[in-house]
Amino acid sequence: MPAEISAEIIDEIADNEPFAPFARWLEAAMRSEPLAETMMLATATRDGVPSVRAVLLKGADAQGLVFYTNLESRKAEELRENPRAALCFHWKSLGRQIRVQGRVASAGAEEADAYFATRVRDSQIGAWASAQSRPLESRAVLEARFAEFRDKYAAQERVSRPANWAGYRVRPERFEFWQERPFRLHDRVVFVREGEAWRKGRLYP
């Protein structure tokens, strides 16, 4: 084995569960590159036709990984049909990838209200203006809707959360940590949920 291939990742992921190493890798990525909380979210229709897009991770703990979106969007429609998702983070600056898969549930109104309240006002207005994933005739129509909602809320101190804007929590059943290594002998460490415990193993790169 080449000298460069050390046991580094084994030490790095000595944990028996995936959430602590996930938090460490995310923190390292946040220090290392912009928008490190971006994750690719894959969903599929009932018939298994897949689709994928970027969303932002807005919360992560042992309960799962949370993102926010429009409940009438394509992704939300697919999640209603098929409440399973896969997530993928790729951190180029660190040569790392984390893949997650699991079942998806609503994050709940209280959590969505709390997060919505932290958004800048114009982003809150934007949530009202966007009928996400619906056909849009022109940019001008979107801007007119934005102006309309800005006027509507002008006299109000708080912009309420639209009922169709909410959070989802992906409850992981599987995590994979991938670390780039020389000679394409990359490390892959996998955790598979078994009840409340996790089975840990390695995969060939």
| Residue ranges binding ligand FMN (CB under 6 A) | 35, 38, 51, 53-56, 67-70, 73-75, 132-133
Q: Which is nearer to ligand FMN, 69 or 97 (CB)?
A: 69
Closest distance between ligand FMN and the C-beta of residue 127, in Å?
9
How far, in Å, CA of 145 to CA of 165, rounded?
16
Backbone angles phi, psi at 2, to 5 degrees: -60, 150
* Catalytic hit among 74, 184, 188, 202: 184
- Considering the complex, what minimum distance in angstroms separates the CB of residue 13 from ligand FMN? 26
Cβ-based nearer residue to ligand FMN, 106 or 188:
106
For residue 42, the cross-strand partners are 52, 86
Least distance between ligand FMN and beta carbon 15 (Å) = 27
In whole angstroms, how close is the CB of 137 to ligand FMN at the nearest point? 17
Which residues, including other chains, have CB under 8 Å from residue 65's CB and lie 6 or more apart?
39, 57, 59, 87, 100, 169, 170, 172
- Choice between 5 and 54, CB closer to ligand FMN: 54
Measured CA to CA, the distance from residue 99 to residue 173 in angstroms comes to 11
Q: 169 catalytic, yes or no?
A: no
Which residue bears the tokens 């807005």?
A: 58
CB contact at 8 A, 179 and 95? yes
Retrieve residue 156's tokens: 């109000």
- Measured from the CB atom, is 74 or 84 closer to ligand FMN? 74
Q: Which residues are tagged catalytic?
A: 184
